[in-house]
Structure 1
Amino acid sequence: MTDGIEKEDHVDRLQRQWARELPDLDTQPMTILGRAYRLSNLVRPSIEATFADFGLDRGEFDVIATLRRSGPPYRLTPTDMYSALMISSGGLTHRLDRLEKAGLIRRERSPHDGRSVLVALTEAGAALAEKAIRTDMASEASFLQGLDARERETLAALLRKLIGGIERELTPSGEEIQTAD
């Protein structure tokens, strides 16, 4: 390393191979999107291991985290949940069944509509969500130690700008694309 910058990484090697095989191909998008994809693949096992330490898979964590960050009383409709999580109603039902069996959520009748159900976080679910997110954020922060505070702010701002442009391109109506994170 020189001045904290890697001389060559995996993506540079891929670009060099493509330049040899297809010299007319512009692989510049790979310098950003390829690295973002690689970054995600590198950190995913650690994130999943963190949740597993709490007896959760990623999808189960996403459910209890969505409820916890929604604020008191930590209740949402299933429709709000599967929209926020970008999963099918069937996929959500499967997760809710497992979490309910574990005592982390409960299904309640809506006080406004007796035909509707709300998904509520139990005290145990709220405590677990908080412990898991705190542990996960500490773990993820350790991955960023190679960047100083200003570099992290700059990178975050550039990624926000990039993602905003992509979202506008993919959803011209202005509808926000949501992810579980």
Structure 2
Amino acid sequence: MRNSDGVRDEVDGIVAAWGRERTDFDPEPLSVFSRLLRLDRHIDRMRRQAFSKYGIESWEFEMLAALRRQGEPYRLTAGRLVQETLVSSGTVTNRIDRMVTHGYAERHPDRNDRRVVHVQATARGVELVDAAMADLLEAEQRKLEDMAAQDQRELADLLRQLLAHFEREG
């Protein structure tokens, strides 16, 4: 199958093969989700490469970025970090431990509720995430440079619709 531009990718072959091998179901959803999966893998590689010069992992960037987006004092509760990063509370706790060990973040107990922990990016963490974000945006812009601005906006709108469906379902 080719699109209107005559471009063909690996997923076209996958969808065609399933359609040939299993005529009893429609493999078309694969044309969306297999592409998203493959893009996720490419994006992960691109991000790891962008962050490697800073010696951080993608998850460290993700955690620091969530804190940085809050503005000063660059602080969130551990519970809010769970929501921001879509990982379990146990995973967030482990990640906070590692970020504290690396000097990227600090823990602050809540004054009113001992069960609540606030995580705050250190100056080192803020500096690191700002530099990594600049490199990431440059890499992402290079990947999008062949796509017209209107097409980028349309793709973002379509992905927003799909993501909203997943997020509504939890």
TM-score for both structures, normalised by structure 2: 0.87
- CA 1:4/1:122 → structure 2, altered by over 3 Å: closer, same or farther? farther
Rounded Cα–Cα distance in structure 1 between residues aligned with 2:113 and 2:27 = 56
Q: Letter of the aligned partner of 1:132 in structure 2?
A: A
Q: Which residue of 1 aligns with 2:80?
A: 80
Answer with 2-11 or 85-94: which moved more. Answer: 2-11
Aligned length: 168
Rounded Cα–Cα distance in structure 1 between residues aligned with 2:95 and 2:37 = 26
Give 1:6 deviation, angstroms: 4.4
Q: C-alpha offsets along residues 21-61 of structure 1, whole Å, 9 cap, x if unaligned?
A: 12232111112122111111122111112222211112111
Q: Which residue of 1 aligns with 2:109?
A: 109
Q: Please, what is the CA RMSD of the aligned residues?
A: 2.2
1:76 alignment partner, SS class: strand
Task: Point out where structure 1 has 5 or more consecutive residues left out of the alignment.
Answer: 172-181
2:108 alignment partner, SS class: strand
Q: Which residue of 1 aligns with 2:26?
A: 26
Answer with 50-59 or 81-90: which moved more. Answer: 81-90
1:70 alignment partner, SS class: coil
Give 1:10 deviation, angstroms: 0.5
- CA 1:3/1:108 → structure 2, altered by over 3 Å: closer, same or farther? closer
TM-score for both structures, normalised by structure 1: 0.82
Q: C-alpha offsets along residues 115-156 of structure 1, whole Å, 9 cap, x if unaligned?
A: 343211111111111111121111111111221111101111
Rounded Cα–Cα distance in structure 2 between residues aligned with 1:44 and 1:4 = 28
- CA 1:85/1:3 → structure 2, altered by over 3 Å: closer, same or farther? closer
Q: Letter of the aligned partner of 2:84 in structure 1?
A: A
Q: Which residue of 2 aligns with 1:148?
A: 148
1:143 alignment partner, SS class: helix
Q: Letter of the aligned partner of 1:106 in structure 2?
A: E
User: Is residue 2:36 matched to residue 1:44?
Assistant: no
Task: Describe how 1:87-166 pairs up with structure 2 within 5 A.
Answer: 87-110=87-110, 112-113=111-112, 115=114, 116-166=116-166
Q: Which residue of 2 aligns with 1:10?
A: 10
Higher relative contact order (CA 8 A, sep 6+): 1
Rounded Cα–Cα distance in structure 2 between residues aligned with 1:4 and 1:144 = 19
Q: Letter of the aligned partner of 2:154 in structure 1?
A: T
Answer with 3-12 or 151-160: which moved more. Answer: 3-12
1:119 alignment partner, SS class: strand
Give 1:4 deviation, angstroms: 8.6
2:16 alignment partner, SS class: helix
- CA 1:148/1:125 → structure 2, altered by over 3 Å: closer, same or farther? same
